[in-house]
């Protein structure tokens, strides 16, 4: 069987998380390939982040013999350098699964799925991430498991990655030395004051 090369819907660019800028809509479908995906690299610093996005889908319930259901996967990958990331060869530093979806609904959910403010058949997903890398890469993938063309799609809107908190900075050696010198001087001044007051 000939393996078809997956077409890519790649939205690549740096998103400054401090501006809380949402990504534009992403539409994934199995209309022309067995694997459609989209990702965006978000410039990051170590800390706790929240990821939010809205989605709606039409997932096929048709599962012929010797096939799998069509499936959607939402994942976050982490890298220190963008050249390290390659989805096709599974090259990255770390990852967190957000949730998976097929015709029976979401499963392996590591966040919260609620009704979306967009209304209709839209849902809202939110989750908290702990990051220690330079880039966070929200990634969305649709697999055509039943090999029936054009029977499943997922639309994603308002992908947003927001820094909640960053770890307290570790003092540099020069800062620590300056602080130690100041405390030593303060201690010496207090000792001298106490010594002088004992002669009164």
For the stretch 135-161, pLDDT in tens is 999 999 999 999 999 999 999 999 999
CA-closest candidate to residue 58, choices 79, 27, 93: 27
The counts of H helices and E strands in the chain are 1, 12
Per-residue pLDDT band for 167 (boundaries 50, 70, 90) equals: low
Q: How many CB atoms lie within 10 A of CB 63?
A: 15
Instruction: Give the residue with greater pLDDT, 3 vs 182.
Output: 182
Compute the mean pLDDT over every residue in the chain, rounded to the nearest whole number. 82
pLDDT number for residue 18? 32
Per-residue pLDDT band for 165 (boundaries 50, 70, 90) equals: confident
- H or E element: which one contains 80? none
Q: How many CB atoms lie within 10 A of CB 153?
A: 19
Phi, psi of 186, rounded to the nearest 5 degrees: -65, -45
Per-residue pLDDT band for 51 (boundaries 50, 70, 90) equals: very high
Taking the model in full, what pTM does it have? 0.74
- H or E element: which one contains 138? strand 135-143
Could you identify the residue written with the tokens 């929240």?
50
pLDDT number for residue 110? 97
**Least confident among 9-23, 95-109, 117-131, 153-167:** 9-23
First to last CA, the chain: 101
Q: How many CB atoms lie within 10 A of CB 80?
A: 14
CA-closest candidate to residue 131, choices 89, 88, 180, 166: 166
Maximum Cα–Cα distance across the chain: 101
């Amino acid at each position: 069987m000939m393996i078809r090369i997956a077409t890519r819907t790649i939205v690549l660019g740096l998103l400054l998380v401090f501006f809380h800028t949402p990504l534009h809509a992403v539409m994934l479908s199995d209309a022309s390939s067995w694997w459609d995906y989209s990702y965006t690299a978000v410039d990051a610093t170590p800390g706790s982040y929240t990821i939010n996005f809205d989605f709606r889908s039409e997932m096929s319930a048709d599962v012929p013999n010797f096939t799998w259901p069509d499936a959607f996967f939402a994942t976050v990958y982490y890298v220190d350098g963008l050249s390290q990331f390659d989805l096709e060869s599974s090259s990255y530093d770390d990852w967190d699964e957000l949730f998976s979806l097929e015709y029976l609904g979401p499963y392996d959910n590591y966040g919260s799925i609620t009704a979306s403010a967009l209304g209709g058949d839209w849902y809202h997903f939110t989750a908290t991430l702990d990051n220690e890398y330079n880039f966070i890469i929200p990634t969305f993938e649709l697999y055509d498991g039943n090999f029936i063309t054009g029977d499943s799609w997922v639309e994603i809107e308002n992908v947003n990655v927001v820094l909640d908190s960053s770890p307290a900075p570790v003092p540099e050696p020069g800062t620590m030395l300056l602080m130690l010198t100041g405390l030593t001087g303060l201690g010496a001044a207090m000792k001298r004051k106490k010594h002088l007051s004992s002669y009164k």
